[in-house]
């Protein structure tokens, strides 16, 4: 039986350590999906995010609050006709964190190919 030392080379071990240093708030499928949508779009409003991700208002609000508290996204309120809409954008910190996380996943993927 192989030991962990034998299974992972130094690069893979380094990537795993880097992954564990990423914001823990990103280790959730829905929060990653929110971040990816915001990364790809200039801004997305609450209603569109809820529709795209199939989430309830409460669940989406909770995920958005967690990401905002980490400084990964920001909300912007604007008046549209007689309504106030809240749009969300990814911050520079959020872009960096998301890109770093996916870079690490790509490095790990390369190490897992047999």
Pairing relationship of beta strands 83-90 and 44-45 according to DSSP bridges: antiparallel
Give the chain's mean pLDDT: 85
Q: What is the pLDDT of residues 9-44, one digit of tens each?
A: 666 676 677 777 777 888 899 999 999 999 999 899
Q: Return the pLDDT at 54.
A: 95
Residue ranges of domains in the chain: 10-104
CATH code at 10-104: 1.10.10.10
pLDDT at 112 over 90: no
**Sheet architecture: strand order including 44-45:** 44-45, 83-90, 73-80
Q: What angle do CA 55, 56, 61 make, to 5 degrees?
A: 95
b/e code 76-103 from CB counts within 10 Å (16+ = b): eeeeeeeeeeebbebbeebeebbebbee
Q: Return the pLDDT at 27.
A: 83
């Amino acid at each position: 039986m192989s030991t962990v030392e034998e299974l992972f080379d130094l690069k893979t071990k380094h990537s795993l350590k880097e992954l564990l240093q990423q914001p823990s708030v990103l280790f959730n499928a829905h929060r990653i999906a929110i971040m990816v949508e915001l990364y790809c779009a200039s801004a997305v409003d609450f209603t569109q995010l809820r529709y795209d991700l199939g989430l309830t208002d409460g669940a989406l609000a909770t995920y958005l609050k967690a990401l905002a508290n980490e400084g990964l996204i920001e909300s912007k309120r604007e008046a549209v006709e007689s309504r106030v809409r809240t749009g969300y954008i990814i911050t520079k910190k959020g872009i960096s964190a998301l890109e770093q996380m996916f870079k690490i996943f790509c490095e790990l993927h390369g190490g897992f190919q047999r």
